[in-house]
Amino acid sequence: MGTEKGIKLDNGKIRLGLVLGGFAKGLKEVGCIGTFGANKYCDNGWQTVDNGVKRYTDALFRHLFAWLEGDEIDAESGYRHLAHAAWNCLALLTLTHMPKFLLPKSQWGCDDISKFEQSKDMIWKELQERNNRATNSLGKDNQKSWQKQ
């Protein structure tokens, strides 16, 4: 009786340990952002903020742009801009998973969703252009330092 191995039928099931364990340090930072926000505002208040999707999209891009421009730490919170960006991504992911009847139209930030999509596309294009400029700049700096050797 004591020598038989148990079985677990978990093939094809989600393996959350890969995310929770593999990204533990990053997720802890995101938890710090959530705690900072809860202390500043209230627990889970982000779920009912008017125009939430639009506002968290704007916040996501502000933190990404700050990071791309070389600003590592958010002056107000003292935490990394990338942690703020990750928190905003999770907020957006969660808000956009809510069934439409639970997600008020005000969460989207505009009456016409196509306007939101156009705005998102414009911001994404700008983010890509800034990233390309930063990458090109880093490449030139690295090339200059290599040529000095």
- The per-residue pLDDT for range 78-115, each reduced to its tens digit, is 999 999 999 999 999 998 887 654 555 555 554 555 55
> Residue 73: beta bridge partners?
80
- The per-residue pLDDT for range 115-133, each reduced to its tens digit, is 556 666 666 677 677 777 7
CB 127 within 8 A of CB 61: yes
pTM value is: 0.66
CB 87 within 8 A of CB 30: yes
